[in-house]
Structure 1
Amino acid sequence: MSDPRVTSVVHALLRARQTYHQAEAGEFSETLSSAEQAYAAQDGVAQALQWFGPEGPMHWKSGGASRQATLTHAPLPPAGIWNSPASAGGFAFAMRGIEAEIALRLGQSVNAEQAATLDASGASALIEAMAVSIEVVDSRWSGGMAAPALLRLADLQTHGALVLGPWVPWAPRDWSQQVCRVYIGEQPVVQRQGTHALGDPVWGVPEWLRHATRGGRTVAAGTVLTTGTWVGVLNASAGDLVRAEFDGIGAAQVQL
């Protein structure tokens, strides 16, 4: 982490995590100029906080606004991975955005050579299970989702916590017909059908694996990937009970 621009962002993110006070995004709005710098900042924070063991990250997020957009990826710290039904307890959030997602679990390890030529069909063959997941969106930057894109990427793409529902065996589906519902406190239920931004949660898996295996790394069997929201980012508050349901797959819930 010799790039002083990356180092300054890492230090700002570490201070925000340690003090529970968001860093001023405006002070760093032009510090990073590439996704590679943002990913280096992710790595710098993870190394400083010793999040991952020798096997590397076992939970990731990956996604994008469309198949034409550049997908982004982030390894997720283990302290914020919760099994449903979960309770946030005293976990500190600056914001509580809610994304309803499908998580996938690899049935075998994948190295860089395998990932290099992988397509969606090959990726599907690597998956052993799926689960409903809820990502709680949070930010270490002032402005939250309005912070510059590279700063959000450096901050694990605004990740707060991940709630995983029960695992069920993986099987391809007609995702255009998939219905999901999200309940947040006393708010009206949000229902969507076929609204995954990539059309199919597996579509982005090959690109994620190529990212995760950079530098000759191997992604371990059992690694979990949550694959992007079906409902955008919904607002929740402390004290809300949040539940996401996907017909035919299952549900997950968290008490905030």
Structure 2
Amino acid sequence: MAYPELNQALTTAWQHKRRIAAADWAAGPLDAEAAYAVQQSVAQALGCFEPGRPQFWKSGGASRQATLTHAPLAPAGVRHSPANFSDLQLHAPGVEAEIALRMGCEVTPALANGLSIEGARDLIDAMAVAVELVASRWLEAGDAPALLRQADMLSHGALALGDWQPFKPRDWWAQACELRVNDGPVQRGVGGHSLGDPAWGLAAWLKHVTRHGDSLPAGSVVTTGAWLVQPGLQAGDRVTVGFAGLGTVAVQL
């Protein structure tokens, strides 16, 4: 089912850096399929699916038992570390320490449909430390209904990527991670990824991306869920994220 008014409202909010009231839309008969349809429409308007170019996505879930969710990312907000995002004027963004994965080949619907978790892992050609900025077009932010947040690119703001390096098996349960805002205390964690492995949800993501018959271009990137989180940052804040043995990413808000 199409929701042209919601499509337009969210697209305008993205393009003009505005926030809108989820309460105006919360009573509608939106379901998961419709939320993804709105997401797709907004993503098209933001240039997420330009033919012949790699795409950027986020994918994840609260646990391996949960339904994973996915969203395309606007390429204008994907930058290499050290990354300055002050021009985006994000409202009280949060930051998430993540690992991004890059696909080494084109993934067709036929290939995606038959993939196992291990088969999807074999398609990765590189990984990088990443920082996702989380921000909402909804005035209610995280209190907006889940399906409206899903329609709004899962509350994506921007993405900073570190240096690409070969993807190799690691003991992700023992992976150490650090996050620091300005000159404040360092937040530290070991393991902590909700799926236990940043590649665990790849097969589900690839099936989602190709479900309407389109192939995913080679070189496409997916960021795969938070290890550490810091909400409620302000313009001018500096954030550094490091994964032991994998490198660091620096972000300026």
TM-score bucket of the superposed structures, by smaller chain: over 0.9
Cα offset, 1:95, TM superposition: 2.4
Q: 1:12 maps to what in 2?
A: 9
Q: Provide the rounded CA distance (Å) in 2 between the counterparts of 1:56 and 1:213.
A: 15
User: Contact between 2:241 and 2:249, CA under 8 Å: does it hold in 1?
Assistant: yes
Superimposed CA distance per residue, residues 150-188 of structure 1 (whole angstroms, 9 cap, x where no aligned partner): 000000000000000001110011111001000111332
Query: Structure 1 51/123 Cα, relative in aligned 2: closer, same or farther at 3 Å?
Result: closer
Q: 1:252 maps to what in 2?
A: 249
> In the alignment, which of 138, 159, 164 is matched to residue 162 of structure 1?
159
Segments of 5+ residues of structure 1 without an aligned counterpart are none
Q: Relative to structure 2, which stretch is displaced further, 58-67 or 31-40?
A: 31-40
Q: How many residues align?
A: 253
User: Contact between 2:54 and 2:218, CA under 8 Å: does it hold in 1?
Assistant: no
Cα offset, 1:231, TM superposition: 1.5
User: Contact between 2:107 and 2:218, CA under 8 Å: does it hold in 1?
Assistant: yes
User: Contact between 1:57 and 1:75, CA under 8 Å: does it hold in 2?
Assistant: no
CA RMSD of aligned residues (A): 1.4
Where 2:86 maps in the other structure, the secondary structure is: coil
User: Contact between 2:48 and 2:72, CA under 8 Å: does it hold in 1?
Assistant: no
Cα offset, 1:56, TM superposition: 6.3
User: Contact between 1:57 and 1:76, CA under 8 Å: does it hold in 2?
Assistant: no
Q: Provide the rounded CA distance (Å) in 2 between the counterparts of 1:15 and 1:198.
A: 34
Alignment of 1:187-202 (within 5 A): 187-202=184-199
> In the alignment, which of 228, 231, 236 is matched to residue 233 of structure 2?
236
> In the alignment, which of 188, 212, 233 is matched to residue 209 of structure 2?
212
Q: Provide the rounded CA distance (Å) in 1 between the counterparts of 2:103 and 2:128.
A: 12
Letter in 2 for 1:156: M
Alignment of 1:21-60 (within 5 A): 21-55=18-52, 58-60=55-57
Cα offset, 1:98, TM superposition: 0.5
Q: Provide the rounded CA distance (Å) in 1 between the counterparts of 2:101 and 2:14.
A: 28
Letter in 1 for 2:187: V
> In the alignment, which of 84, 88, 93 is matched to residue 90 of structure 2?
93
Alignment of 1:39-188 (within 5 A): 39-55=36-52, 58-188=55-185
Cα offset, 1:33, TM superposition: 2.7
Cα offset, 1:65, TM superposition: 0.5
Superimposed CA distance per residue, residues 4-44 of structure 1 (whole angstroms, 9 cap, x where no aligned partner): xx212112212322443211011111324311111100111
Cα offset, 1:233, TM superposition: 4.5
Q: Provide the rounded CA distance (Å) in 1 between the counterparts of 2:225 and 2:232.
A: 16
The alignment's TM-score, normalised by the length of structure 2, stands at 0.95
Q: Provide the rounded CA distance (Å) in 2 between the counterparts of 1:187 and 1:8.
A: 43
Q: Provide the rounded CA distance (Å) in 1 between the counterparts of 2:59 and 2:184.
A: 28
Cα offset, 1:119, TM superposition: 1.5
Where 1:62 maps in the other structure, the secondary structure is: strand
Segments of 5+ residues of structure 2 without an aligned counterpart are none
Query: Structure 1 53/113 Cα, relative in aligned 2: closer, same or farther at 3 Å?
Result: same
Q: Provide the rounded CA distance (Å) in 2 between the counterparts of 1:180 and 1:55.
A: 35
Q: Provide the rounded CA distance (Å) in 1 between the counterparts of 2:75 and 2:220.
A: 12
User: Contact between 2:47 and 2:75, CA under 8 Å: does it hold in 1?
Assistant: no
Q: Provide the rounded CA distance (Å) in 2 between the counterparts of 1:202 and 1:18.
A: 32
Q: Provide the rounded CA distance (Å) in 1 between the counterparts of 2:192 and 2:206.
A: 23
Q: Provide the rounded CA distance (Å) in 1 between the counterparts of 2:12 and 2:105.
A: 37
Percent of aligned pairs with the same residue? 48
Superimposed CA distance per residue, residues 106-129 of structure 1 (whole angstroms, 9 cap, x where no aligned partner): 111111111112122111111011
Runs of 4 or more consecutive aligned structure 1 residues displaced over 6 Å after TM superposition: none
Q: Provide the rounded CA distance (Å) in 2 between the counterparts of 1:146 and 1:12.
A: 18
